[in-house]
Amino acid sequence: MKVMTIIGTRPEGIKMAPVIKALQDTPGMESVFVNTAQHRGMLDQVLGLFGLKPQYDLDLMKAGQGLEELTMRLFEGLQPVLEQEKPDVVLVHGDTTTTFVGAYAAFLKQIPVGHVEAGLRTNTLYSPFPEELNRQLVGRMAAYHFAATEANRENLINENVNPASIAVTGNTVIDALLEISERPVRCRTELEEIFANGRRTILVTTHRRENMEDMQHIYRALERIVDQYDDVQVVFPVHKNPAIRRSVMQVLTGRNRIHLVEPLAYAEFVHVMKHSFLVLTDSGGIQEEAPALGKPVLVARETTERPEGVEAGTLKLVGTSEERIVKACSTLLEDETAYRRMAEVRNPFGEGDAARRIIDVLQGQAAASGGQKVVSR
């Protein structure tokens, strides 16, 4: 069976690395790895860490790229690759523009699509934007739905997806996290010095498009928190998106105990998560990783597609209101019981064997179809 994996951004790289490696190591599977390079440096870091080299690199990233233009260039880039390789299955991950176009380009060639991390929903089309629509559209197109959790499976069933096409596998991010956690890490000196000072660290990341207008409320909340607690510091790896950078720099440049750093290599980032007191983020993947490391996460968004984390008690939605963020951080900084309740290690997102389970499903499908192509929904 020839399986083409199409990825383009940092989180897709982290979460699909275990799958690509498992495909490469499985007899009878031919792996074709396509990197659209919707992200460049941030994804290249990940591929280097996992030792992965794409067979096709479309090199699409442009500074400050617009979604329409990116979408068009993705179609143009992917069509000849699909025609050349004629894979039996195309795997995409999650909800980015690469994910949507990768799935649709394969669908137009009637190639079955496998959707990894299927069934996440907020059911609010503009939150996250444009990811909620992307994942819903891929859900209509996919022949195989690899859901991380039971709740994700139920979301798909509520949309009349054929239950036989859904497998609950856990999230591949746990596979990646476990693999990287076992490796020795060398952090840059700047980070070692920051963590040696004994202060409590709030780790922050922001990048959501729908938050763009309100980002500065998050940053003002951070200023207030470090002013209020002199044993607290912020470590903030700033996303490469130029619009985000401008917004962060405007408010936080030169602030005492607020360390703005370049995006961290994944191994470093995991190390920093482990050594942080709490995480404030609008990221998707970090909502899964931090609970697995026993770190409370304040989610700077109005919605989450990961209610399992909220139910388990490790995620709390705080939106982008300055007041709510200051209040939630203060509670965790001052109230040990409240902190412990959120820091309990309860990881609802998998056991670290998701990639293996995905390959098992594909192998089962290959055996059942006797090499025939399957287009099933």
Nearer to ligand UD1, 96 or 314 (CB): 96
Of these, 21, 39, 306, 357, which contacts ligand UD1 (CB under 6 A)?
39
Order of strands, sheet of 258-261, starting from the edge strand that comes earlier in the sequence: 258-261, 232-237, 200-205, 278-281, 297-299, 315-317
286 contact, one of ligand UDP, ligand UD1, none, CB 5-8 Å limit per kind: ligand UDP
Both structure tokens of 124: 């609010």
Both structure tokens of 345: 């290690």
User: 40, 199, 209, 259: which is the annotated catalytic residue?
Assistant: 209
Q: Is residue 42 near ligand UD1 by the rule CB under 6 A? A: yes
Shortest spacing between CB 259 and ligand UD1, in angstroms? 20
Q: What is the DSSP string of 110-162?
A: T--EEEEEET---S-TTSSTTHHHHHHHHHHH-SEEEESSHHHHHHHHHTT--
* 308 carries an active-site annotation: no
Q: Is residue 10 near ligand UD1 by the rule CB under 6 A? A: yes
205 contact, one of ligand UD1, ligand UDP, none, CB 5-8 Å limit per kind: ligand UDP
* 117 carries an active-site annotation: yes
Q: If you count them, how many residues does the chain have?
A: 377
Q: Where are the alpha helices (DSSP H) in 164-261?
A: 172-181, 189-196, 215-228, 242-252
Q: Are the C-beta atoms of 23 and 356 separated by less than 8 Å?
A: no
* 192 carries an active-site annotation: no
Q: Is residue 131 near ligand UD1 by the rule CB under 6 A? A: yes
User: 207, 208, 257, 301: which is the annotated catalytic residue?
Assistant: 207
Task: Say which amino acid occupies 357.
Answer: R
Residues 6+ apart with CB under 8 A from 192: none
Phi then psi for 90, rounded to 5 degrees?
Answer: -115, 130
User: 88, 95, 282, 322: which is the annotated catalytic residue?
Assistant: 95
Q: Is residue 64 near ligand UD1 by the rule CB under 6 A? A: yes
38 contact, one of ligand UDP, ligand UD1, none, CB 5-8 Å limit per kind: ligand UD1
Both structure tokens of 167: 């497998």
Nearer to ligand UDP, 269 or 277 (CB): 269
Q: Are strands 232-237 and 200-205 parallel, antiparallel or unpaired?
A: parallel
Nearer to ligand UDP, 284 or 348 (CB): 284
Cα dihedral 247→250→253→255 (10° resolution): -100
User: 12, 88, 131, 175: which is the annotated catalytic residue?
Assistant: 131
Shortest spacing between CB 239 and ligand UD1, in angstroms? 6
142 contact, one of ligand UDP, ligand UD1, none, CB 5-8 Å limit per kind: none
Q: Is residue 240 near ligand UD1 by the rule CB under 6 A? A: yes
Of these, 3, 4, 7, 11, which contacts ligand UD1 (CB under 6 A)?
11
- SS3 at position 28: coil
Phi then psi for 13, rounded to 5 degrees?
Answer: -65, -45
- SS3 at position 13: helix
User: 117, 175, 210, 288: which is the annotated catalytic residue?
Assistant: 117
The whole-angstrom separation of Cα 350 and Cα 177 is 11
Q: Is residue 130 near ligand UD1 by the rule CB under 6 A? A: yes
* 207 carries an active-site annotation: yes
Q: Which residues lie near ligand UDP (CB under 6 A)?
A: 10-11, 14, 205, 207, 237, 263-264, 266, 269, 283-286, 289
63 contact, one of ligand UDP, ligand UD1, none, CB 5-8 Å limit per kind: ligand UD1
The whole-angstrom separation of Cα 15 and Cα 13 is 6
Place of tokens 């690759």: 81
Nearer to ligand UDP, 88 or 305 (CB): 305
* 289 carries an active-site annotation: no
* 145 carries an active-site annotation: no
Of these, 241, 303, 320, 365, which contacts ligand UD1 (CB under 6 A)?
241
For residue 96, give the nearest of 212, 10, 176, 20 by alpha carbon. 10
Of these, 40, 220, 224, 259, which contacts ligand UD1 (CB under 6 A)?
40
Residues annotated as catalytic are: 95, 117, 131, 207, 209, 239
Binding site for ligand UD1 (CB under 6 A): 9-11, 38-43, 61-65, 67, 70, 95-97, 130-131, 207, 240-242, 284
